[in-house]
Structure 1
Amino acid sequence: MSDPIRCLEFFSGIGGLHYALNIAEIPATVVCAFDVNMIANQVYEYNFGHAPSNKTIERLTPKDIEKFKADCWLLSPPCQPYTQGGNMKDIDDPRAQALVHLIDLLPKLDKPPTYLFLENVKNFEESQSRAKLVQMLDEMNYQVKECLLSPIQFGIPNHRLRYYMMARRRSSIDSSSVQQQETEQEESSVIQGEIHTKWPFTGEYQFEVPELCQFIENAANEDLQYRVPEKDIIKRHKFRFDIVRPSDNRTSCVTKAYGSHHLQTSGSLIQTQYLDVKHDWSDPKSLLELGLRFLSPKEISRLHAFPVPEYQLQSNDSCLTKPRLFNPPHCLPHLNFPDSVTLMQRYRLLGNSLNCWVVAELLRCELF
């Protein structure tokens, strides 16, 4: 049996990429994770049993990296440099410098990673950061695949459009045979990058999306701690909240502001009362009869396909490399939060995280 693929997990957060690796059932191990968020590191250690390094990524040297003998880099760098909320400063944003540093480290390594996986927000595909990374990977003879995909396309009732990059370094044998056969058009397509927007990339499947009721907890409907405060509803005149019912099969993207008074575009609200009442967007008081509540952290964890307790279904039987119909992951460890992590901190951590199932399927079917 070959040795497990040795992975480094950069910008690890609560471990979404690590969980995805487990869900994908790839023979791989995370030999070290890196993040400076102390609360996220606390959650990571609570679940995986070892704490990520909080050493600033910009200070890592080739020697620091090479000691791990890593075959794969997993990266989920900060998204703010590529969002309107973060002023879209791109490569000039200080929060982008850690990724830039890692790109600059790649050619300095005696043995660069064979595999690289990166996740970020939409707009990253148009960034200078992405251009710099793709140029470096092209110069180092990596084959690159890129896509913009949402969990909806994988059979999960949550819209969370994200950019993903998968890169695999060609061997010297591949270099001599493949590169000689590639046309100029094919070579330029690697640099310019075709962005796949269908899943699978061939578009030969279309997965049915289940109703939201399969992801939410009935008991939470009556739990007042998740109710949207009346004052936050009343003060938003004519604002059209994204209101969903358990019978719906779509929710909007949950952001790090979810659960707070920032209700605009932070995520869907669940309707818990079904009286024959017509609400009027120009009269926010009419919305109070709907019993609007936030998704709970556990429900968001389910929508983001983290393995969570008391949500275990029969696992999927499938070919190792063909796309699978979504089934709630059952692998260990489950995602749990220490009691010391507050409700708002949980929302923020989950809003900054990723969809584990989407990443797992891309790892299974495209990267490895």
Structure 2
Amino acid sequence: MEEVVNCRILEFYSGIGGMRYSLMKAGIKGEVVEAFDINDTANDVYQHNFNHRPFQGNIQTLTALELDKYRADAWLLSPPCQPYTRQGLQKHSADARAFSFIKILELIPHMLQPPQMLFVENVVGFETSDTHEQMLEILRKIGLITQEYILSPLQFGIPYSRPRYFCLAKREPLSFHNPSYNNKLVFTPDPLIMLESIKPMDGELSQDNGLEEPNISCQPIKNFLEIEPLFNQHGALSFINEYDVSMVDSEDGSDNTWNEGCGPKDMESTTGPNKIVEEIERSDANKSPLDNYCVPISLIERWGSAMGILIYHCFTSRFPLFRDVIACIFNYPCAFHDCPEKKLPQHETDIVFPDSKRCCCFTKSYHRYVKGTGSVLATSEVSQNGSLKKPDICSLKHLGLRYFTPREVANLHSFPEDFHFPPHISIRQQYALLGNSMSITVVASLFRYMFAQPS
């Protein structure tokens, strides 16, 4: 097995650098000769981490002659997903946000040096759009062979349910290692496995074995948290620093209730990878940095009926992974394996624990809205007894619910430790940018497969 080396790569819709980090993780020997993105804030983050500012003009103004000058072997594209999401208007190619992608594709037949490889990432739903039809028609006219995938980080051992559509295209004489998957849509990473050291997750949907009982072998969520959780004798979350938790006794002698904070009352700065520098700088002196991420009691009282608990670490029943993928596609997180399908829309806010082995997709609206934008973390232990039971609002108040921090969301997207946001990027902007990003672990695996060339 050989690798296509010394590739010149163009990165379209570069965002905060997910594609480039994926290339690095995959060990691709190539050069990103230019990146393109119209978002000024995203370009600030990209420049901060890569020392290069992407081209910020409207890529619809690019010509075939200008693209030829880059002499790029591979194009990587992650066009806007809004025209294809279930929550959107689903205008597909008629949506103005789809115009630039279509325009770029239409330029390829007019180029003297068209790309030899193409990679496209988008949301599930893109594969049923008319934009997808136009893309395949153009690629086939210019002699590119495609393999299409719908994959989730769950299939790579990451406890994060984020199924996405991917298209890999190569022009002869280049070819794929597994040509039997040419011109097909695949729901399993099986074709990638021979080039990987990872082992496929049980329970994947493949073209050969259909549905199987899943083996929940993902890492626990606690491996991706900024602070390692430890539950104390009160059942409340403590930390490796072993500071006091913000629990207070009620005046009437009833059960303990959570104060406004959900973590340590006071936390000093720590060293090492768990340091939360930005949050500490923005917090009050007498406030834990994680207090900024607590779910307000008022929201719990308002939306408590819509909250379910994902307790996958005590998961014992048969639950085909395919159903989980479908649930995520329709944004109905499966909080309870025995919940009737018609009831699923009620459970759009999901609570996970540090030992849970999956959480739901984080959108760009996470932290702004509590429903349907991503899981929240319970920082207080509850008695589960191996059962999946919907808690009432009163018990929800005792869970010490907080949002995942931007760094934790970045961890679940597999961004490296040396990835940082510039100081001027607000928390809200960080969530929005991460919500528009991608799983580096998944994309890196696809890159290793696409850039490999059979001997």
Structure-2-length-normalised TM-score: 0.68
Q: CA deviation at 1:203?
A: 7.6
Q: CA deviation at 1:276?
A: 5.0
Matched to 1:336, the amino acid is: H
Q: CA deviation at 1:233?
A: 1.7
Q: Which residue of 2 aligns with 1:335?
A: 419
Is 1:115 the equivalent of 2:141? no
Q: Which residue of 2 aligns with 1:313?
A: none
1:254 to 341, 356, 362: 362
| RMSD of aligned alpha carbons | 2.6
Q: Which residue of 2 aligns with 1:210?
A: 219
Q: CA deviation at 1:2?
A: 8.5
Is 1:355 the equivalent of 2:439? yes
Bigger share in helix: 1
Deviations 1:175-209 (A, max 9, x none): 9xxxxxx9xxx9xx96xx42110122388842431
Contact kept? 2:363, 2:374, Cα under 8 Å: yes
Work out the CA distance in 1 between the residues paired with 2:428 and 2:131: 31
Is 1:166 the equivalent of 2:168? yes
Is 1:265 the equivalent of 2:267? no
Deviations 1:253-272 (A, max 9, x none): 11101111x11111111100
| Correspondence list, 1:49-128, <5 A | 49-128=51-130
| Correspondence list, 1:1-368, <5 A | 4-171=6-173, 193-201=183-191, 205-207=199-201, 208-218=217-227, 221-222=263-264, 223-240=290-307, 241-260=349-368, 262-275=369-382, 283-308=392-417, 334-368=418-452
Structure-1-length-normalised TM-score: 0.83
Over the matched positions of the two proteins, sequence identity in percent amounts to 37
Matched to 1:96, the amino acid is: A
Work out the CA distance in 1 between the residues paired with 2:137 and 2:119: 16
Work out the CA distance in 2 between the residues paired with 1:282 and 1:236: 12
Q: How has the CA–CA distance of structure 1 residues 156 and 255 changed in structure 2, closer, same or farther, with 3 Å as cutoff?
A: same
Gaps of 5+ in 2: 202-216, 228-238, 240-261, 265-289, 308-348
Q: CA deviation at 1:274?
A: 1.5
Work out the CA distance in 2 between the residues paired with 1:4 and 1:123: 34
Q: How has the CA–CA distance of structure 1 residues 79 and 122 changed in structure 2, closer, same or farther, with 3 Å as cutoff?
A: same
Q: CA deviation at 1:230?
A: 1.7
Work out the CA distance in 1 between the residues paired with 2:220 and 2:389: 26
How many residue pairs are counted as aligned between the two chains?
Answer: 328
Contact kept? 2:146, 2:184, Cα under 8 Å: no
- SS of aligned partner of 2:359: coil
Work out the CA distance in 2 between the residues paired with 1:353 and 1:13: 7
Matched to 1:24, the amino acid is: A
Work out the CA distance in 1 between the residues paired with 2:160 and 2:416: 16
Contact kept? 2:28, 2:451, Cα under 8 Å: no
Work out the CA distance in 1 between the residues paired with 2:451 and 2:48: 29
Q: Which residue of 2 aligns with 1:315?
A: none
Larger Rg: 2
Work out the CA distance in 2 between the residues paired with 1:91 and 1:275: 48
Work out the CA distance in 2 between the residues paired with 1:283 and 1:244: 16
Work out the CA distance in 2 between the residues paired with 1:115 and 1:212: 35
Contact kept? 1:157, 1:212, Cα under 8 Å: yes
